[in-house]
Amino acid sequence: LRLRNKNKSEHGPSSGTPPLGVWSVLASQPAAWKVAMAMGGAINHVPRVLMPGPLRKWKDYRTLPPWRGGQFRQWMKNRPAQKGKS
């Protein structure tokens, strides 16, 4: 919130609310989610002119970290179980 407020007070760019239709499909379709995660690193190699407008605008002001997909699931699989902890 602090960073949003700073951006607004400095009249920085606002991308508005991103469309969530694609997220809805991915979140409700396990197979689609797995494909999206497998293809996640590809966004780093898509030329800017081929990106959809909202993503292009978002990427103008942000840099993506290197893709490290799959490491969370591997970490969860290998970590010791902690029963009774919440």
Read off the pLDDT band of 86 (50, 70, 90).
low
pLDDT digits (tens, 9 = 90+) for 25-83: 888 998 988 888 777 777 777 787 888 887 788 777 777 677 666 677 788 888 887 66
Alpha-carbon distance of 14 to 42, in angstroms, equals 25
Which pTM value belongs to this model? 0.39
